[in-house]
A = this chain, B = another copy of it.
Amino acid sequence: MTTNKATRSKDVTLVGAGLAGCLLATLLGRRGYDVTVLERRADPRRAGAERGRSINLALSARGLDALERVGLREEALAAALPMRGRMVHPVTGSPNFQSYSADGTRAINSISRSGLNEALLDTAEKTPGVTVLFESRVEAVDLERGVVTVARPDGVQELAASIVLACDGAYSATRRAVQFREGTNYAQDFLEHGYKELTIPARDGDFAIDPTALHIWARGGSMMIALPNLDKSFTCTLFWPKDGPGGLSSLSTAAQVRAHFAREYPDVVDLMPTLAEDYLANPVGSLVTVRAWPWTAHGAAASVALVGDAAHAIVPFYGQGANCAFEDAIEIDTLLDRHDGDWSRVLPAYEKARKPNTDAIAAMALQNFVEMRDLVNSRVHRTKNTAMHALERWFPSLVVSRYELVSFSTVPYAEVLRRTRRQGRVLTTIGALGATALGAIAARGLRRR
């Protein structure tokens, strides 16, 4: 890192008052930093949540660990619905439940994104030293002069800045302002699949389907999932190819939508009274993986670092986007301690520590999309899942499933990937010796319990 006059700055310009931004602003404020948070949108507590963001998300161990550090863990859990496993819905026949953990007790937590964001925003604003400026869009970042140009309702302003933390998401304006420097690698890769959200409302004042599971309708090339909400509705998300046969754009009339759902999702079509209207009205979202390197850039007067989705947006199939972004914030907080507030050591250490882990979760999230869609072969998967959990119970020091390590531990993602790849090879070897026998034994083991 070029040492610039920002090295010991106690002033931080933080862009983006989303989940990671609010958490990081709070952590920095508590350390005595003066944090100016620039948020492009209006205050969501007054303006309502922006359309087009996902409605809920799955909070797991990493996210809860982060929230605990700002005293929000219990509040978040109180507003969340635990999901202890996946409920896989075949086209015909009844759904089957697969526990996420060997002992069946651990859960990921369905929580409202906007609710969680507002709680974090309240916490950030209450922290001395933190100021949040809404409707403040970053237009340019000049690291040589130490200036961030911001468009606000009352005009364009230049704000002095020495440390700029870009928490402004996959489409980060801050990143765009610096990413074209020579030597800055960058990639954005979109899936052919898009997503669209639908609703299963409460029925007779109660959940229409089991609220203790994450529901999956796996259909090979595409899928639908559903997560429960506090108001006893479910938010369903379609992950379908954007175009082509069976794609999101292939249904254009209410009759087509209803016929398609009656054929592909027969067990829930009748639980979705506004299905066709919602389908035709709701936008199609994109699924992007962002890779950047380095995450930091340095000029004579200022340094910038990318945080969360701005550095490493991932696809949502491991439910780790927010959890992972929180970990970035925790890493910066920890390193400020270790390096005694010296940004010239904190920022390089931050990117170096986090990059292998965010690369790992990016890869695992992409792999899990294939795996989830393949749950269509649910019998095979169920046997595998059961066998895996049996092994975990019998050899807990040797075998833990990837899903458990990602969701129920804070083991670094890169280590999870390494460890479960090794495990995968061992299991493949065992499999060659008799996967079917093992499955049978495991299933028997389960029934004995």
CB of A188 within 8 A of CB of B185, answer yes
Q: Which single member of B184, B188, B189 contacts A190 (CB below 8 Å)?
A: B184
| A187 proximity list for chain B (CB < 8 A) | 185-189
In whole angstroms, how far apart are the Cα atoms of A189 and B188 in the complex? Answer: 12
CB of B183 within 8 A of CB of A286, answer yes
| A171 proximity list for chain B (CB < 8 A) | 180
Answer yes or no: A242 CB below 8 A from chain B CBs.
yes
Answer yes or no: A421 CB below 8 A from chain B CBs.
no
Which A residues from 255 to 288 make CB contacts under 8 A with B? Answer: 286, 288
Interface 0/1 of A344-365, CB less than 8 Å to B:
0000000000000000000000
In whole angstroms, how far apart are the Cα atoms of A409 and B189 in the complex? Answer: 33
Answer yes or no: A182 CB below 8 A from chain B CBs.
yes
Answer yes or no: A339 CB below 8 A from chain B CBs.
no
Interface 0/1 of A106-149, CB less than 8 Å to B:
00000000000000000000000000000000000000000000
- In this complex, the interface size class of chain A, counting residues with CB under 8 Å from chain B, is 10 to 19
Q: Which single member of B180, B184, B242 contacts A183 (CB below 8 Å)?
A: B242
| A188 proximity list for chain B (CB < 8 A) | 180, 184-187
Answer yes or no: A444 CB below 8 A from chain B CBs.
no
Answer yes or no: A176 CB below 8 A from chain B CBs.
yes
| A288 proximity list for chain B (CB < 8 A) | 182
CB of B185 within 8 A of CB of A190, answer yes
In whole angstroms, how far apart are the Cα atoms of A107 and B394 in the complex? Answer: 70
Which A residues from 179 to 222 make CB contacts under 8 A with B? Answer: 180, 182-190
In whole angstroms, how far apart are the Cα atoms of A375 and B186 in the complex? Answer: 31
Q: Which single member of B182, B183, B186, B286 contacts A186 (CB below 8 Å)?
A: B186
| A183 proximity list for chain B (CB < 8 A) | 190, 242, 286
With both beta carbons as reference points, the residue of chain B lying nearest to A173 in the complex is identified as: B180
In whole angstroms, how far apart are the Cα atoms of A171 and B180 in the complex? Answer: 7
CB distance from A309 to the nearest CB of B (A): 14
In whole angstroms, how far apart are the Cα atoms of A421 and B188 in the complex? Answer: 29
| A180 proximity list for chain B (CB < 8 A) | 171, 176, 188
In whole angstroms, how far apart are the Cα atoms of A312 and B348 in the complex? Answer: 30
CB distance from A83 to the nearest CB of B (A): 29
In whole angstroms, how far apart are the Cα atoms of A145 and B391 in the complex? Answer: 62
CB of B182 within 8 A of CB of A286, answer yes
In whole angstroms, how far apart are the Cα atoms of A288 and B183 in the complex? Answer: 8
CB distance from A238 to the nearest CB of B (A): 16
In whole angstroms, how far apart are the Cα atoms of A185 and B291 in the complex? Answer: 12
In whole angstroms, how far apart are the Cα atoms of A185 and B188 in the complex? Answer: 5
In whole angstroms, how far apart are the Cα atoms of A187 and B189 in the complex? Answer: 8
CB distance from A177 to the nearest CB of B (A): 11
Interface 0/1 of A217-252, CB less than 8 Å to B:
000000000000000000000000010000000000
Q: Please, could you name 22 A-B residue pairs with CB atoms under 8 Å apart, sorted by A? A: A171-B180, A176-B176, A176-B180, A180-B188, A182-B190, A182-B286, A182-B288, A183-B190, A183-B242, A183-B286, A184-B188, A184-B190, A185-B187, A185-B188, A185-B189, A185-B190, A186-B186, A186-B187, A186-B188, A187-B187, A187-B188, A187-B189
Q: Which residues of A contact B (CB under 8 A)?
A: 171, 176, 180, 182-190, 242, 286, 288
16 more CB-based (< 8 A) A-B contacts, given A185-B188, A186-B186, A187-B187: A171-B180, A176-B176, A176-B180, A180-B188, A182-B190, A182-B286, A182-B288, A183-B190, A183-B242, A183-B286, A185-B187, A185-B189, A185-B190, A186-B187, A186-B188, A187-B188
